[in-house]
Structure 1
Amino acid sequence: MTNASNRPPAPDHSVDPNTPALQVTGLAKKFGEKIAVNGISLTVPTGSFYGLVGPNGAGKTTTLSMATGLLRPDYGQAFVHGVDMWQHPIEAKRLLGILADGVKLFDRLTGEQLVTYNGLLSGLDRDTVAQRTRDLLALLDLDKAGGTLVVDYSAGMTKKIALASALVHAPRVLVLDEPFESVDPVSAANIRDILKGYVQNGGTVIVSSHSMDLVQRMCDHVAVIAAGRVLVAGTVDEVRGESTLEDKFVELVGGRHHAEGPEWLRLS
């Protein structure tokens, strides 16, 4: 029998599993004269591990921010298990756990206080929050750091406490923007195990990452975006074809140079 401390809270199953976990249609965003996202449409199946990949500036973070209610789109719609994000934001956000890249945490709280705050904010009772907070801190090897201020955490610890905060209310969909950046290999392996277990228990994970190897090993679906548009989307096997995902990505996005570099860099 598995102890509760060895897995994250199971996602709430009170949704239709046949409805896409996330569906965005025609999302667009412009900053000044720059078009960051140019009519992106995606369907993320329920129970999938979905990777979103693209070069820097492709529009990944902007797309996820609009899909999860952090940034209002200029055009388009986003639905979380059929709930319109911008028509019914509170209902839609209850279904989401978000680890957003670059969004500041309340880092003058301790790790335990931060997770507790997020659990209470989600409407959980205090006893449930206390138990889940203990489970998550143990699960992520942060139990000894639970009384330390988040501002004093390393980059990897900060990423893990943000993940705990996203998991505490047992969301149906986890949206993770670069979740493994600055995380040490052991912690990364633990996080991967947690996410795999979460999907096996009926949750959906959407992850943006620059690591093609990680996406190829973990994800069953992937979308490649560049210049604010979807270049290709489907299962990982459909997208990569006979090549690796990294080779297919470079082929689609372009920009690879085969030169040896300037003569002054050739040392022998």
Structure 2
Amino acid sequence: MSCSSKPKLDIQGHRGCRGLLPENSLPAFKKAIDLGVTTLELDVVISKDQKVVVSHEAYMNRTICYDTTGAEIVNDKAFNLYHMTYDEIKAFDCGSKKYPRFPEQKNRKTYKPLLSEVIELSDSLNPEIRYNIEIKTGPADYNVFTPEPQEFVRLVMEVINSYPIAQRSNLQSFDVNVLNEIKKQAPEMELALLVDGSENINEKLKELNFKPEIISPAFELLTPENVKEYQKDGYKVIPWTVNRLKDMEAMLAMKVDGIITDYPDVLISLSTVY
């Protein structure tokens, strides 16, 4: 046992561990847990039959998916998950295709799982695992690629409340309408404001009608000064997506509360030194 009172870094496996295995897949979540992450970071969308599906896009991204025959997808947005049943979605192979951005990724045939499947697998492997669930939508997507925030949040909360995970989960979104809606429907949920590199953290905070527990910005927006300031104001600071060693070192030196990375194996090794 350590006598140190240093708070433990929240190591979040981005989409499971995208650098090592196909993103948002059961094999990636299993691997991330095996590596020892604190938290699984994942994205959810909604199918035609109102299932909560783990996927970064609300369509079949041709960069990572083959169609049901194993062929290349030409027009990926034609495969709108909000207009497909879950059985139709599950038939696509979103793991065999090589992803040039992640040369170390071990490809294998896999599918987009349900949020419920991810929870059941992950909790069976580590009943203390945490979940950081991103609701993927924006005003231009409402009623086109996703439901409106009220319905989206209702469906996600229905799944979360079916398992004993609410106390070790947080929801995150770039969409302030979604975060305001979650606060209304599930005031007890811990919430994270996602901030893109082109946005201003303070301006975006003003768009919320409550104070979120977590600020989760593109890591390039952080400085030693603003990290200290946000923490002093009571926020946890958890940047994304920190993949290069030198950037991990910079974030650790700033004493952020957690780090979202595609390479949790590297971060885990590094965090023992800090």
Classify the TM-score, shorter chain.
0.3 to 0.5
Look at both structures and tell me which one has the larger radius of gyration over its CA atoms.
Answer: 1
**Normalising by structure 2, what TM-score?**
0.32
Q: Using CA pairs under 8 Å that are at least 6 residues apart, name the structure with larger relative contact order, 1 or 2.
A: 1
**Normalising by structure 1, what TM-score?**
0.33
Q: Which structure has more strand as a fraction of its residues?
A: 1
